[in-house]
Chains A and B, each alone.
Chain A
Amino acid sequence: MRIDPLKNWLDERLSLSSLAALADEKEVPQHRQTIWYYFGGMTLFLFAVQVATGILLLLYYRPSSENAFESVQFIITEVKFGWLIRSIHSWSANLMIATLFIHMFSVFFLRAYYPPREITWLSGAVLLFLVICFGFSGYLLPWNKLAFFATKVGTEIAGVVPIVGRPALRFLRGGDDVTGATLTRFFGFHVAVLPATATIFIAIHVLLVQLHGMHVPKKYEASYQRMKFFPNFMLRDLIGWILAIGVLAALAALFPWELGEKADPFAPAPAGIKPEWYFLFMFQTLKWIPAKILGLDGEVLGIMAFNLIALLLFAVPFIDRDPENRRRHLIFNICGVLALLYIVAMTIVGYVAK
């Protein structure tokens, strides 16, 4: 056959046959909780969608306060299928954060961070924060009214943190106020710093998953079946990805992402301004928190509490490392369920609240 010489040529140089053998050997545990394994791959797929659509948007986007809004307007009105690319980029970003949360909680509740998977968990936690940073920086890029004020409020919250807050605020904004300098800076983070960092951590994360294989919950350790990763699991992943494309297309066509009005730094903030849904639970908490708690600034305490929770998230595999400690399991389950309920409830309240 004509393809064989090429295959042999590549094999000699890239050792494809050993890679194929490795893929052939790779198996995925099959049990009642297997469904949760797909969310990691789905998040990765949506990240790939972000990269692809992001590159296309870069062809027309101009990162300055004078041109950003107009360039996005041009993309969605004049560029052929520009509206589709921009809407898919926005919807995919939100879906990616949603699948990432599902992935994180499933790993948490299935105890997939037990030794030797601590670094897999840590790299995942870093990726969670990187993705949130992606969302925060990308939100400002269309330079519309809502994004402008959401960034103003968001960076102000960062500025409240004692000692490092003020320098962090100036670093994020590129000055004392949200200006064109902030936009340029956020653009740099969004298309260079964050993608480069995320790629490194994704590589570490995926490599570690390959190295340690999928974690099997203790309950199913005694009896579970195995499924070949390639092609069985891969094809199932593919169905999910194809359906994800369908969902993204439907969302983009039926609910195109709004552009809104161009940001006007001299205009008053619109009433009832809210951040993106994944920040709402924190935003609502800070709104409700009393101004003073034991003589200390309530907002500062709230922000410090969220920082502490973030640190605890990183520490999870080091606190709960004994699969036999049933009491600790119970405490972790209760904490996880309460955190999940809190996030869902406060997000709903944040949406409903005026």
Chain B
Amino acid sequence: MRRVAVIGVGMSKFGELWNMSFRDIVISAGTEAIEDANLEGREIEAMYIGNMSGGRFISQEHISALIADYSGLASINVPSIRVEAGDASGGVALKEAYISVASGIHDIVIAAGAEKVTDVGFAGEIMDSTIDQEWEAFPGATLAGLYAMMARLHMHRHGSTEEDLAMISVKNHRNAVNNPKAQFRREIRVQDVLSSPYTAEPLKMLDAAPISDGASVLILASEDVARKYTDTPVFIDSIIQSSDFIALQSREDILEMRAVKTAVRKALRMAKCDIGDVGVFEFHDSFTIAEMLLYENVGLCSSGEGHLLVREGEVEIGGRYPVNPSGGLKACGHAVGATGIRQAGEIVLQLRGDAGKRQVDAERGMAVNIGGTGATAVVSVFRR
């Protein structure tokens, strides 16, 4: 296997992009990545695109061909592959792109993610389609409801509180202030979260990531090729995907994210490092409780102590484990299929020293992208 580097990063603005179509959003991110990598465009040999639900959000399937076309890559017949794994679509697209370069099949490829969500009136049911429709959604559970049951059990078993969860939201909003691409560049207070309406008790509106349009693009190259284009390659030391039972009810313990645990263990082994060697993290905070459970399941703390990390400020920029300097899904935005690529892009910017006012000093970074309630997990470790 060859070493694989990220040589270009691009991202559209995330948010309610009323004036931009699906293609506009993708091209704005892609153009930025191509320029960042100093490519002309024709060097691209393949593209992998994470997209959760083009069919339901914009009634467009065959997303792969559409994007190749509007990226100017259909004219040179570049193969294009759309990847779907719920809101882990981006992470899985990145893994597939990585494999295509590591294996020696391709030298330069695009790993992208894109979603246009706001063209439908009510996106909630489509967002919820990552849960088991027959045995979770039918009895009336929602994605928020399932995470709420994890939160309720954590509070019961370990003494965490709604304030602890609110502090995660507050932290992510604070970080997003310094991210020009973020959807919400404004601070909120714990009280704002606590007084927002319940969606599924004990989770509230401001515990949840928003509805967002957006696209994110990375350009990957083999090590030798990467050196020709950039002096600051960031290497993907490992990227591992893992699965768990789709429905919470099938899991032995709903607070244990076994897909995440397995992927983290393998990813650290492949990257030949320990969790303590990683200095910056992007975690999948589709809900605040997801971020807190990731602290525990990734191994930043012991099981049942996630809320203590929040209380002690360890997950802030400047803390021992800075999580979501971008603002995370909560405040940077959650453009579903784009999220896994967006997280990886943030880690690359951080490791290159290009993260501006939200810069964290780190040698290694980790991104954790999950689908639904954790039935898919993608964990990647990057090094500068």
Chains A and B belong together in one complex? no
